[in-house]
Amino acid sequence: MSLKVAIIGFGSVGKGVIKVLSERKDDKFQVVAITDSKGAVLDDKGLDLADVLKKKNNGDLKRVNKSSMDVVKECDYDILVEVTPTDAKTGQPGLSYIIEALKRGKHVVTSNKGPVALKYKELKELAKKNNVQFLFEATVGGSMPVFNLMRGPLAGNEINSIEGIFNGTCNYILTRMASEGLPYDMVLSEAKELGIAEADPTYDVEGIDTALKMVILANSVFGMDVGLDDVDRVGISSVCLEALKLAGEADMVIKLIGEVHPNGEERVLKVSPRLVPKTHPLAVQGTLNAALIRTKLAGDIFVIGKGAGSVETASAILSDMLYIASLQ
């Protein structure tokens, strides 16, 4: 039997999810609702996703007058796919949607970093109490598997620490500065033109995005109880060409590295530009993300992939959905 899916949010990630689901040849999932700020499209028997996507792109999608919260509270679905934008301070509106769905005993899959970073413990407990899954692979590293890697292939391993490059925008800027010898401001402008950086790039370049991801990892993997303010955070705007040049002469590169190491006095929870040898597996280029997961048995495991992108993020969401399907 198909699992009924409600998708809250119809931006880049929502579109990716709908595209990916529309191309699946099995009937594991049936999308019964899609909402955005303008209303909802609903069909109990399953929406024609290709048609919805076409109309959305043409700007002639007909919605009914129901809010996202109406759908979360009233609609008949098994999995809520919550893909609204991240608000790092309040987690809203995603946080309220997630709470409502979990209370109703629905599984939740989200790409929204706000709710997970702010309320991981409460949400996980609420999910447990209601005997449903609360999954968020897409919040860290885009298509690069992190949580699912630790749950499945690295199961049985004690995880000692996690560090890596978790923001493609910063990695692009630092890579271009180093390879072309161009100053920060010039590369940032270029990144904005290419759509790699936002018009207001603060969230990325000041390391806030990476810090949120470290909070999610700290709380969910290591059972810590920390927030954004607990992260020792420095962004990349102060990285100068001279520093990159000196690094290059020593066969090093400068990368914005996030790190979580949970243990006692060695405890580390930080985001900062750091020197990485050019030959080190974390020294990936362009917009790539890279994570080093230090484990007790398997040793150091690196995983590298695209940290962003509509379909790539949808791939992470799909892996969570398939995990839920495998439990049925």
* Interaction site with its own copies (CB under 8 A): 20, 24, 137, 143-145, 148-149, 151-157, 278-279, 281, 283-285, 288, 290, 295, 297-306, 309, 311-312, 314-316, 318-319, 321-323, 326
Encoded amino acid at 279, one letter: T
- Residue 10 is assigned to a ligand binding site: yes
Smallest gap from residue 67 Cβ to its own copies (A): 30
User: Alpha-carbon distance 278 to 247, whole Å?
Assistant: 9
User: Alpha-carbon distance 108 to 293, whole Å?
Assistant: 26
User: Alpha-carbon distance 68 to 66, whole Å?
Assistant: 7
- Residue 299 is assigned to a ligand binding site: no
- Residue 113 is assigned to a ligand binding site: yes
Smallest gap from residue 125 Cβ to its own copies (A): 22
User: Alpha-carbon distance 67 to 160, whole Å?
Assistant: 43
**CB of 67 or CB of 148, closer to its own copies:** 148
Output phi, psi for 38, to 5 deg.
-95, -10
- Residue 12 is assigned to a ligand binding site: yes
- Residue 9 is assigned to a ligand binding site: yes
Pairing of strands 29-36, 3-8: parallel
| CA quadruple 47, 51, 57, 60: dihedral sign | negative
Distances (CA, A) of 84 to 29, 96, 194, 219: 20, 11, 23, 22
Residue 213 bears catalytic tag: yes
Q: Is 136 helix (H, G, I), strand (E, B) or coil?
A: coil
**CB of 35 or CB of 315, closer to its own copies:** 315
**CB of 108 or CB of 284, closer to its own copies:** 284
- Residue 166 is assigned to a ligand binding site: no
Partners of 39 in the β-ladder: 36
Smallest gap from residue 297 Cβ to its own copies (A): 4
Contact indicator for 96, 123 with CB cutoff of 8 Å: no
Where does 1-112 have alpha helices with state H?
12-22, 49-58, 68-74, 94-103
Smallest gap from residue 25 Cβ to its own copies (A): 10
Smallest gap from residue 85 Cβ to its own copies (A): 22
**CB of 154 or CB of 228, closer to its own copies:** 154
Find, among 231, 217, 210, the residue nearest to 86 by Cα.
210
**CB of 44 or CB of 300, closer to its own copies:** 300
**CB of 158 or CB of 225, closer to its own copies:** 158
Smallest gap from residue 162 Cβ to its own copies (A): 14
Annotated active-site residue in 15, 56, 213, 255: 213
- Residue 73 is assigned to a ligand binding site: no
- Residue 13 is assigned to a ligand binding site: yes
User: Alpha-carbon distance 274 to 201, whole Å?
Assistant: 20
Question: What is the CB neighbour count within 10 angstroms for residue 286?
Answer: 12
User: Alpha-carbon distance 119 to 127, whole Å?
Assistant: 12
Find, among 112, 145, 82, the residue nearest to 306 by Cα.
145
Q: Is 117 helix (H, G, I), strand (E, B) or coil?
A: helix
Output phi, psi for 314, to 5 deg.
-60, -35
Binding residues for L-homoserine: 198
Binding residues: 9-14, 113, 198
Known catalytic residues?
213
